[in-house]
Amino acid sequence: MTDTSQKTIRPLRSSWQVADKAIGALVFAIAAFCLLPHIAVLLAALTSGTDTLRHLAGSVLDDYTLNTASLVLIVGFGTFMIGTGAAWLVTMTDFPARRVLEVALVIPLAFPAYVLAYAYTHVLDHPGIVQTVLRDLTGWGPRDYWFPEIRSMGGAAMMLILVLYPYVYLLARAAFLGQSATTFLAARSLGKSPARAFLTVSLPLARPAIAAGVLLTMMETIADFGTVSYFGVQTFATGIYTSWFSMADRGAAAQLSLGLLAFALLLAMLERANRGRAQFSNGKRQEVIGRIKLTGLSKMAAMVLCGLPVAMGVVLPVIALAVMAIGSEQDLLSSRYIGFITNSLTLASIAAVVTVIIAVVLGSFARLRDSRASSVALYVARIGYAVPGGVIAVGLLVPFAAFDNTLDAWMRETFGISTGLLFTGSIWLLIGAYLIRFLAAALGAYEGGISSVSRNIDAASRILGETAIGTVRRVHVPLLTPSLLTAALIVFVDVMKELPATLIMRPFNFDTLAVQAYRLASDERLNGAAVPSLLIGAIGLLPVILLCRKVARH
């Protein structure tokens, strides 16, 4: 090799090393930031000797624990039954409207559970249309009949089941589609009925995917605040908010956050262990399972079982919210509502762009530098998807509020200047909370796209003298544009729907559509709450439409 070529290679290697170190430092800084809320909650909980928690332990702490656990189990069982049953029916059987229903079953994902809670309360509560018509037809008084109470544990569980079952449905449907017909037909040839063959063959083979979906619904359940708060169900999520705002006790909020964090991390470990044990097919199906043609009562039962979740999760709530919105006095064109919409779009847009950029940085580092350290950084960055927004909010506010107060006191004493709340009074800390909460979703979309890009392309780029950053910018990003846009859209919609973190961390007089809907519903102004709720649901349809298109193609 000539001296000239050696001189050319050395600067390139040197630049690669410098860039690699800089990106490595950035990656570990991001991982440390993602880990900060967990450490802050743990330290604040252990160092806070608060009387409020002792008071809560003697009054409602048992209720928090029991209600949270009960809600998780009920929602897990309900989503398993609906999601798995509907997935098997649309995949393995043939009945009228099957093609429409297999796509429509995904649509409830567009709505947060608290939006359904407002709609069903308006319809089923004592002053609602159902009970009013019942009293008019029978002449009964309020104490003459029994009607299920919508504002209850059962009501909250129903709302969560209706919006979360698509997680199980999508994963179960993919698992059933990937199964070969051999084992199913063998069971049928041995005299098993279709239902029995499903229980003994198809269901066990799809167990890892179904379990992953159920665990996802459980993690979303413990993170829910809007539904349980509105229905008056005391869980850890409502306890954190009450301790922070009503009791002004951050120590108690941190200790309750630690309890909820333990729930979340337990579910996250179960999900990861299940994913590690899962056995996936290589995508080569030996023989396609012929659909079972349903007739008579079986046909009608399948239509009802698949149509009822869509009717209850989409059709009825949308009709109810539309009627409520028409009867409200909320003006979408007023400067106040334009402010809510602008704030929501601003937060969601910034969070989506920042989160996708960070996902690209983390994912690219792990791809170009495959090591234990990069794997640990990715694992830490993903933890946030299992942690409720309220816990992340408390975990960020405690250290940053302490920093703001310390800095302000030092500046006052030294220079006579007040710096105010630099972090806790801005939207940037709220953006950080969104980043931690939804980074896993962006990483999943990035990894789904990068898996189709051959590593030989990376090697060719390096051989041609491109740096690591140049390879990502000029090679990876153009190839991954569809995946990155999908990731940005998912994060955008998730931020629009996020309630607890926004409620706790938003700057003063900086309200969003979700906060406005929650505030109006808390004041029992359900007609007014319908307007921002419909807007949130309409925006939530965007990523669901993408999912529906994928479902329709398979």
The amino acid that residue 14 corresponds to is S
pLDDT tens digits for range 35-47: 998 888 888 877 7
pLDDT tens digits for range 100-109: 998 899 999 8
- Which has more confidence, 334 or 158? 158
Q: Residue 437 pLDDT > 50, yes or no? A: yes
Lowest mean pLDDT among 70-84, 184-198, 277-291, 464-478: 277-291
pLDDT at position 289, please? 58
> Containing H/E element for 94?
strand 93-94
Task: Measure the CA–CA gap between 467 and 358, rounded to whole angstroms.
Answer: 19
- Extents of the domains making up the chain: 7-47+327-522, 61-323
The amino acid that residue 189 corresponds to is S
> Containing H/E element for 326?
helix 316-326
pLDDT tens digits for range 383-393: 888 788 888 88
- Which has more confidence, 440 or 268? 440
Identical fold, 7-47+327-522 and 61-323: yes
pLDDT at position 377, please? 83
pLDDT at position 283, please? 43
Task: Measure the CA–CA gap between 131 and 148, rounded to whole angstroms.
Answer: 10
The amino acid that residue 144 corresponds to is D
pLDDT at position 290, please? 66
For 31, 118, 261, 271, 553, the CA distances from 218, given in Å and listed in that order, are 25, 22, 13, 10, 29
pLDDT at position 230, please? 92
For the chain, what's the residue count? 554
pLDDT at position 275, please? 60
pLDDT band at 10 (very low <50, low <70, confident <90, very high): very low
Residue 292's beta-bridge partner residues? Answer: 93
- Which has more confidence, 297 or 190? 297
Task: Measure the CA–CA gap between 527 and 328, rounded to whole angstroms.
Answer: 5
Burial of 525 (0-12, 13-18, 19+ CB in 10 A): middle
pLDDT at position 280, please? 44
pLDDT at position 303, please? 93
Short-list 72, 116, 106, CA closest to 86: 106
Q: Residue 552 pLDDT > 50, yes or no? A: yes
CB atoms within 10 A of CB 217: 25
Q: Residue 18 pLDDT > 60, yes or no? A: no
User: Phi/psi zone of residue 420: left (φ > 0), alpha (ψ -120 to 50 degrees), beta?
Assistant: left
pLDDT at position 469, please? 72
Q: Residue 211 pLDDT > 80, yes or no? A: yes
pLDDT band at 208 (very low <50, low <70, confident <90, very high): confident
Q: Residue 441 pLDDT > 90, yes or no? A: no
The per-residue DSSP string of 20-69 comes to HHHHHHHHHHHHHHHHHHHHHHHHHHHH---HHHHHHHTTTHHHHHHHHH
Global confidence as pTM? 0.84
Helix axes 481-497, 427-450, angle to 10 degrees: 140
Question: How many Å is the maximal CA-CA distance in the chain?
Answer: 101
pLDDT tens digits for range 482-507: 888 888 888 898 898 888 889 888 88
The per-residue DSSP string of 131-167 comes to HHHHHHHH---TTSS----SSSHHHHHHHHHHHHHHH
pLDDT band at 188 (very low <50, low <70, confident <90, very high): low
pLDDT at position 365, please? 82
CB 463 within 8 A of CB 480: no
Q: Average pLDDT of the chain?
A: 82
The per-residue DSSP string of 519-551 comes to HHHHTT-HHHHHHHHHHHHHHHHHHHHHHHHHH
- Which has more confidence, 3 or 12? 3
Q: Which CATH class for the 7-47+327-522 domain?
A: mainly alpha
Average pLDDT over residues 255-280: 72
pLDDT tens digits for range 139-167: 888 787 888 899 999 999 999 999 999 98
- Specify which of 21-35, 64-78, 407-421 reaches the highest per-range mean pLDDT: 64-78
pLDDT at position 155, please? 94
Q: Residue 553 pLDDT > 70, yes or no? A: no
Average pLDDT over residues 260-264: 81
Lowest mean pLDDT among 12-16, 19-23, 189-193: 12-16
Lowest mean pLDDT among 28-32, 211-215, 285-289: 285-289
| % residues pLDDT > 70 (the chain) | 87
Average pLDDT over residues 525-547: 86
Lowest mean pLDDT among 6-10, 208-212, 221-225, 285-289: 6-10
pLDDT at position 276, please? 57
Q: Does domain 61-323 have CATH number 3.30.200.20?
A: no
For tokens 């999900």, the residue is 271
pLDDT at position 4, please? 47
pLDDT tens digits for range 272-298: 676 655 554 444 444 555 677 888 888
Task: Measure the CA–CA gap between 40 and 251, rounded to whole angstroms.
Answer: 11
pLDDT band at 82 (very low <50, low <70, confident <90, very high): very high
